[in-house]
Structure 1
Amino acid sequence: MSSVISVSHLTKRYASGLEALKDVNLDIRRGEIFALLGPNGAGKTTLISIICGIVTPTSGEVKADGHDIKTEYKRARSKIGLVPQELTTDAFETVWATVTFSRGLFGLPPNPDHIEKVLKDLSLWEKRQSKIIELSGGMKRRVMIAKALSHEPEILFLDEPTAGVDVELRRDMWELVRGLRERGVTIILTTHYIEEAEEMADRVGVISRGELILVEEKTELMKKLGKKQLTLVLAEPMTAVPPELDEWPLELKADGNELEMTFDANAERTGIPSLLKRMTDLGIGLKDLHTRESSLEEIFVGLVSQRKDAA
C-alpha cells in the first residue's frame, strides 16, 4: 500500500534546548486509520503541527501525497484537513459562514451542496444559522471537524477530537470517521481514549519523549506484546500450590480461592489442558475458570514505562 504521508529523519529543537522530536521516521498508508499514542508532552501535537505546516522543523523532510511540506506548501497543505485540540473559531460567526470561509481559504469555489452534506453528516444542519458562541462544547468540536472537511481533504488529522465530548457525540464522530475512511480518506488521530484506538485504528504508533518507539499493525501489536491471564476458581481453598503443579507458572491469590497464570498471548495453549488434567488427577476441584487478554492501554503503559526505565 502506498504512503500518503512520509516523514524522514524529522527533528524539532527549540531555542530553550528542548528536543521535542528526535529523528522521527514514519510512513502513513493511504486510506488507513493511524492512531498516534503517547503521554502528555510526548511530541504528538508537535509532529502533527509540522506535518500540517504550522511548525517549522529543525531538520528532516515531510511529504504529503508526494508534495514537500516546505517547498510545495500550498499543494501539500491542500491535501490536509486538521482538527486541532483547541476550539479556535470566530465566536460571532454563524456555523454556515465559518465553514464556508474555511473552504475559501484554500482557493476553492463555493460549493453549498458539499457544505450542506458535511453539516448534515455532523448533525449541524439545524444549527447552521447559529453563532458559534451559542453552541455547546461538543457542537463547537463538530464545527471544527466541519471546517477541516470543507475543502475535501484526502488526509484528515484529528488531534484529541473527542476531548470533552459526550458519549453520544463521540459515537457520531466515529461513525463519520468510518464513513470517511470508506471513501478513501486517510485518518490520523491522537487520543487519550485508548479504547477508541483499539476499536478504530488499523495501525498504532507510540511516541515517548519525542521518539517514535513503535509502529505496528494493531492486531500484531496485541499478539506480540499482549498477555493472557488464566484464572482458576477453586472449589476448595488451598494454602499453597502443590509441587506437582510447579511446571506451570501459577500464583495462588491471597484468599487461597484462585490460581492465576499469565502467559504470552501468542504462546501455545497446549499447556492448559494438561494443567487441568493434572489438577483433576490430584483431586483439585474447580468452580469456574476464565481468561482475559491485555488491552491496548496496558500494552501502551508498559511500553512507555520500559522507555522511562531505560532512560
Structure 2
Amino acid sequence: MHPTTAPAPPSPVPPTVPAVEVVDLRRRYGSFEAVRGISFEVHPGEVLAVLGVNGAGKTSALEVLEGLAAPSGGSVRVFGRDPQHERSAVRRHLGVLLQASGLPGDLTVAETVRPWGRTLTDPRPVGEALEMVDLAGRADVRVRSLSGGERRRLDLTLALLGRPAVLVLDEPTTGLDPESRRSVWTLVRGLVDDGAAVVLTTHHLEEAEQLADRIAIMRAGRIVLAGTREEIAATQPATITFTLTADAPALPSLPGVRAHTRRPDVELHTRALQPALTALLTWAAEHRVVLAGLQARSASLERAFLAVADAEPAAAEPAAADPAA
C-alpha cells in the first residue's frame, strides 16, 4: 500500500452535532435481544473501536448504524440524520466495510469500482482509490482471481471511494498479512487526521491499541467497559509471577498486594506495580531468596478484554457499566 498518499478531505458536514450518536440502541431477533441498550458518540477526527467475542452484538449494532436494519428501540444518528429513514442524506457522508461483500467474481477490479463510483456524489478517481490500497497494479484482474487479502483491500476501496466523513469498518483487516494490516492502519489514521470519524470492530487487540482513541467492550449485547485504552487497562491489576524454592521463607505481607501461591509458583496482583516490585526485591535480597522466572506485567487491554469475556453475566453486565462513551 501507499500510506504516504494524502487522502482528500472528507465531504463538508454539519459542524455542530456528533458524527455518530447512538442512544439506548436495542435490536431484537424475535424474542432474542442481540443489542441491549447501548449508547456512544463518535466525533470528527476520532476512532471508536468496538470489541467483543463472537455473538456480543457488535455487527448487529453496526447494521443499524449502516442503515441496513431498523432499531428495535433507541436511536442512531449520523450527523443528526436517521441512517435508515434519511438514507439519501446520510449516504453521502458514510463509507461502509462489511465483514463480507460478495462481489461478483467475473468483473475486474476496475469494472467493480467504476459503477460503484457512479452512484456517489463526489467519488475519488478510480486510479487514486486503487493506489490508496495498493491495488493499482491489479485493476485488470478479475475479482475471483484475487487473493483473500486483495479482496479485502477491494472492499476497503469501495468504502473509501466516496470520500466519507464517517467510516464504519467491520473487521477491516481480516485476511491481511501483517505488513498490509499496518498499511491499512496508517491509511485509516490519515483519514482520521483529516477529520473523518471511524467506528470499527476488530478481533485484533493490537489494532484497537494502534487506532482507537476510545474503546468499547461488549458482552451479551451491552457495553460493559468504555474509555481510553489506559482507562480500560486500569480496571485490571498488574501481575508479578515467579517461582520459589521449597526451602524459601514465607512471603511477607506486601501492602496492596493479593498473593495466589501454589508452591513453587507464586502470582501477585497489585494496582501499584513499582512499589510492590520494589518491596518484593528488597525482601528477596535481604533473605537471599532467588525469584526464579520473575516476570512483572502491567495492566493491559488484553487482560481487561479477557476479564469481560470470562466474567459471569451477572458480574459482567451491571447497568452502570453501559455508559455513553
Using the alignment, how far apart are the partners of 1:70 and 1:12 within structure 2? 14
Using the alignment, how far apart are the partners of 1:56 and 1:19 within structure 2? 13
Q: 2:39 aligns with which of 3, 11, 25?
A: 25
**Letter matched to residue 238 of structure 1:** A
Deviations 1:269-294 (A, max 9, x none): 43433333333333435577441124
Q: Match of 1:278?
A: 283
Using the alignment, how far apart are the partners of 1:124 and 1:183 within structure 2? 23
Deviations 1:123-157 (A, max 9, x none): 10001122212211111111100011111101111
Is the 2:248–2:289 Cα contact (8 Å) retained in structure 1? no
Helix, strand or coil for the counterpart of 2:19?
strand
Using the alignment, how far apart are the partners of 1:251 and 1:18 within structure 2? 40
1:7-46 → structure 2 map (5 Å cutoff):
7-14=22-29, 16-46=30-60
Q: Match of 1:211?
A: 222
**Letter matched to residue 280 of structure 1:** A
Say yes or no: does 1:200 pair with 2:207: no
Deviations 1:107-135 (A, max 9, x none): x26653xx322211111000112221221
Mark the CA change 1:246 to 1:166 in structure 2 (over 3 Å): closer, same or farther: same
**Letter matched to residue 306 of structure 1:** A
**Letter matched to residue 188 of structure 2:** V
Helix, strand or coil for the counterpart of 1:93?
coil
Q: Match of 2:237?
A: 227
Helix, strand or coil for the counterpart of 1:230?
strand
How big is the shift at 1:34?
1.2
Is the 1:43–1:208 Cα contact (8 Å) retained in structure 2? yes
Mark the CA change 1:286 to 1:307 in structure 2 (over 3 Å): closer, same or farther: closer
Say yes or no: does 1:261 pair with 2:268: yes
Deviations 1:185-210 (A, max 9, x none): 22211111222212321111111111
**Letter matched to residue 300 of structure 1:** F
Using the alignment, how far apart are the partners of 1:25 and 1:139 within structure 2? 34
Q: Which residues of structure 2 form unaligned runs of 5+?
A: 1-15, 318-325
Say yes or no: does 1:87 pair with 2:101: yes
Q: Match of 1:128?
A: 139
Say yes or no: does 1:176 pair with 2:187: yes
**Letter matched to residue 22 of structure 2:** V
Q: 1:165 aligns with which of 159, 172, 176?
A: 176
Using the alignment, how far apart are the partners of 2:22 and 2:32 within structure 1? 20
Q: Higher relative contact order by CA 8 Å / sep ≥ 6: 1 or 2?
A: 2
1:141-160 → structure 2 map (5 Å cutoff):
141-160=152-171
Using the alignment, how far apart are the partners of 2:240 and 2:27 within structure 1? 45
Helix, strand or coil for the counterpart of 1:41?
coil
How big is the shift at 1:51?
0.5
Q: RMSD over aligned Cα, in angstroms?
A: 2.5
How big is the shift at 1:233?
6.0
Identity of aligned residues (%): 30
Using the alignment, how far apart are the partners of 1:274 and 1:132 within structure 2? 61
Aligned length: 299
How big is the shift at 1:46?
1.0
Is the 2:233–2:303 Cα contact (8 Å) retained in structure 1? no
Is the 2:17–2:79 Cα contact (8 Å) retained in structure 1? no
Using the alignment, how far apart are the partners of 1:43 and 1:4 within structure 2? 21
Helix, strand or coil for the counterpart of 1:42?
coil
Q: Match of 2:323?
A: none
Is the 1:240–1:252 Cα contact (8 Å) retained in structure 2? no
